[in-house]
Amino acid sequence: MTANIAFYNKEVHCNTVCWEVSARCNDHCRFCYRNMISKELDAYEAFHVLDRLAEGGVRKISFTGGEALL
């Protein structure tokens, strides 16, 4: 039991993050879950996340996701 508690109390350090900025897509596939995602971060929230990632030691971010022109 003590070993399990020690394992879960360890700090995790991450220096790389993959961030899906948007899930928007213009294909409207019936089987795809992406069109059900309605909430995205506004600019203030996104910059807040970036600040927190930098404070946490993240040095590399890969941006991905969605249709960029929507």
pLDDT tens, position by position, 59-70: 999 988 877 676
Report if residue 29 sits inside a domain. Answer: yes
- Domain span at 58: 12-64
Residue 21 lies in a domain: yes
- Decide if 69 is inside a domain: no
* In the chain, alpha helices (H): 2-8, 43-55
Number of folded domains that form the chain: 1
Q: Can you say how many angstroms the Cα of residue 69 is from the centroid of all Cα atoms in its chain?
A: 20
| 55 three-class SS | helix
Q: What are phi and psi of 20, to 5 degrees?
A: -85, 100
> Mean of the per-residue pLDDT values for the chain?
79
Is residue 2 scored above 60 in pLDDT?
no
The predicted model scores a pTM of 0.63
